[in-house]
Amino acid sequence: MSNNSEVWRLFIAIPIPSPVKQAIADWCKEQRDKLAFQKWVHQEDYHITVQFLGDTSPERLDDLQLAATRAVSNIRPTHMEAHGCGTFGRADQPRVLWAGLSGDMELLNKLQNNVIEENGKLGYIPEDRPYRPHITMARKYRAGYKLETDIKMTNPQFGSWTADALVIYRTNMHHQPMYEKVAEIPFAK
């Protein structure tokens, strides 16, 4: 049982299966000497964020699980593929290196809208930016280093899978891996 002042930093995401995580990790290992990012994401922390919730009392977990269950009630398992890469931020000093996705993106956007709508009923406010689903691989490009490699030209293929669940993750800062699964909600069958 937690005390009333305890807070968890939570987010909702689609998990990535181990073979795809391994393929991403292998590619990232090959890129570390070429790309001067300060922080490479731990292989077990790869995911597709659906909604960031922020600091939350653990007592709200049951409500969040119910909201997620409602959000996936009309979502069927869907084929996803991780491939390619790109960056967010300035071209010469990007904030994020990401793996791209393909599959039923319309369904993925519907899922994200459902999650935001259900969590909105609980008082969670969505981020004020367009939803761009991706898998974060690295963060914080080092100042003073030129991005030498045109990473978009490499077009790595990381694998495919059937996305069939949402996960509520807890962030444990300064841990490796950093994200802990606290609940899993399967899609409708």
Tokens of 6: 């305890």
Dihedral pair phi/psi, residue 58, rounded to 5°: -60, -25
174 is catalytic: no
Choice among 42, 79, 83, 134 that is catalytic = 134
161, HSE (Cβ side, Cα atoms, 13 Å): 19
Angle between helices 61-71 and 105-120 (to 10 degrees): 140
Alpha carbon 111 to its chain's center: 14
Sequence-separated (6 or more) residues with CB below 8 Å from residue 133:
48, 49, 101, 105, 108, 112
- Cβ burial of 39 (10 Å; 0-12, 13-18, 19+) is exposed
Q: Look up tokens 């009923």; give the residue.
A: 121
47 is catalytic: yes
Kindly report the length of the chain.
189
Choice among 47, 83, 174, 175 that is catalytic = 47
Query: In the chain, where does DSSP find H-type helix?
Result: 18-31, 61-71, 105-120
Q: Give catalytic residues, as residue numbers.
A: 47, 134
